Each structure stands twice: as structure tokens, then as C-alpha cells.
Chain A
Amino acid sequence: DTEVTQTPKHLVMGMTNKKSLKCEQHMGHRAMYWYKQKAKKPPELMFVYSYEKLSINESVPSRFSPECPNSSLLNLHLHALQPEDSALYLCASSQNRGPYEQYFGPGTRLTVT
């Protein structure tokens, strides 16, 4: 099973709201990723968790706050977002060893109004 699930599929939030995106995988992967993807662009890496610890933060603004409660779950907490943060947010997972073959979820389409 190479499935990564994400909820919700769509999210509309105001700039003063607090919301969370959720990601789950049951492939036994110990690396999990958050990406942001704008229309007609490749995914941009935001965060990487290895063994439930944050290993990479690509200088993401603090209004995005990741959390990895256990090896299967990954959350992205959102607060005080800007309209330019509207995008498709993708979660991915991989083994925590080379070649780090990443499997993506379907994404959450986020609109900030």
C-alpha cells in the first residue's frame, strides 16, 4: 500500500483564523514532508520530519507550524495566513534512508480570503 491520505481536501480560511491540515501514512515510513505547490509550478519543500523530529525547515514563516505526533501522522497548523499562502499543500512520506523515494498524498487545496 503506497497511500498517503490528507484531510481536508479543501479549506477556505480567513486571515485571522486558525486551522490545521492533517496527513497520515501507514507504509511504515519514518520520514514525512510538507510541500507547498502553486499553480503550474513544482512542489516546494517546506518541512521534513525524520523519526518524528523536525530535520529540515526551509525558512518557512512562523505562521506555518508543523507537528509530528507519531510516526504515522503529520499536521500543519495554520495561523494568520496571507492570501498569497493560497496553494495546494502536499504531504509526502518516504523511508528514512536512500533513495528517499517519496510518495505524495492528494493534497489540501487552501484558499485564504
Chain B
Amino acid sequence: QQQVKQSPQSLIVQKGGISIINCAYENTAFDYFPWYQQFPGKGPALLIAIRPDVSEKKEGRFTISFNKSAKQFSLHIMDSQPGDSATYFCAANTGFQKLVFGTGTRLLVSP
């Protein structure tokens, strides 16, 4: 299965709160899992990525948690800020050039 299932579709979080976006996959050949952040009218920006041999990766306020046995991974945004309001896409690939994207999560951080 070449799908990556992403949830929730939309999310509202208070400023300072934690935003959590989840993704699940079936293809065990996936070996690279990036997250992209996209603002309206802009291209997706690579935010953070993880390989399956690591259970967690943190960069600033952004953390990926990876559960290989459950075939799930999630993005946590700590201390969420209004400037984090954007659409977030998880993705996966098998070591080739095709990225499989999740359906996207629209995050709104209220002031």
C-alpha cells in the first residue's frame, strides 16, 4: 500500500499549546519520513525528517516521534505560535524519487 494516512484534517490550538499531527503507513519499505510546512500561496518547506532507525528527532520546537512496530509517526509542535498556522504534510518514500504525501492538516494557532 502506497498510502500515508494523516489526521486530523484540521486542528485549532491555543497559543502556547502543543499541536500533534499523526500519520500512519502500511508499506514497510518506506525508509524516510519528512514533514513539510506550507503557508498559503507558498511552496512546501522541509521542516524535519526522520529515518526508521530512530524513535524520536527534535529540532527546536518541532519533534517527530516514530513508532516502527505500529507503522505510525507524528509531529509535535511545542509552545505553538500564531506564526505556526499553516498546512502540514507528512510524507514517506522508499529510497527512490517518489514521495508519498499525506492528505495534509490545516493548523490554526489562536492568539
A: residues with CB less than 8 A from B are 2, 4, 6, 31, 33, 40-43, 45, 48, 50, 55-56, 88, 90, 92, 94, 98-107, 109
Of B41, B44, B97, which one neighbours A100 at CB under 8 angstroms?
Answer: B97
A41 touches B104 (CB 8 A): yes
A56 touches B97 (CB 8 A): yes
B87 CB contacts on chain A under 8 angstroms:
40
Q: Can you name the residue of chain B whose Cβ is closest to the Cβ of A45?
A: B98
B98 CB contacts on chain A under 8 angstroms:
45, 48, 56
Interface class of chain B by DSSP: loop
Chain A to chain B: the 6 pairs with minimum beta-carbon distance, closest first: A42-B101, A99-B32, A104-B43, A98-B95, A107-B43, A106-B43
Say whether, besides A99-B49, A101-B49, A50 and B97 are in contact (CB < 8 Å). yes
Interface class of chain A by DSSP: strand
Within 8 A of A (CB), among B4-61: 31-32, 34, 36, 41-46, 49, 51
Of B32, B43, B101, which one neighbours A105 at CB under 8 angstroms?
Answer: B43
A55 touches B43 (CB 8 A): no
Interface centre among B32, B43, B45, B98 (most CB of A within 10 A): B43
B: residues with CB less than 8 A from A are 31-32, 34, 36, 41-46, 49, 51, 87, 89, 93, 95-99, 101-104, 106
How many whole Å from B2's CB to the nearest CB in chain A? 12
B93 touches A99 (CB 8 A): yes
How many whole Å from A66's CB to the nearest CB in chain B? 14
A106 touches B97 (CB 8 A): no
Q: Can you name the residue of chain B whose Cβ is closest to the Cβ of A94?
A: B97
CA–CA, A50 and B97, complex, Å: 9
CA–CA, A94 and B89, complex, Å: 18
Q: Can you name the residue of chain B whose Cβ is closest to the Cβ of A42?
A: B101
B32 touches A109 (CB 8 A): no
Q: List 10 A-B contacts (CB under 8 A).
A: A4-B43, A48-B97, A56-B97, A92-B43, A98-B96, A99-B93, A100-B95, A101-B49, A104-B46, A107-B43
B101 touches A101 (CB 8 A): no
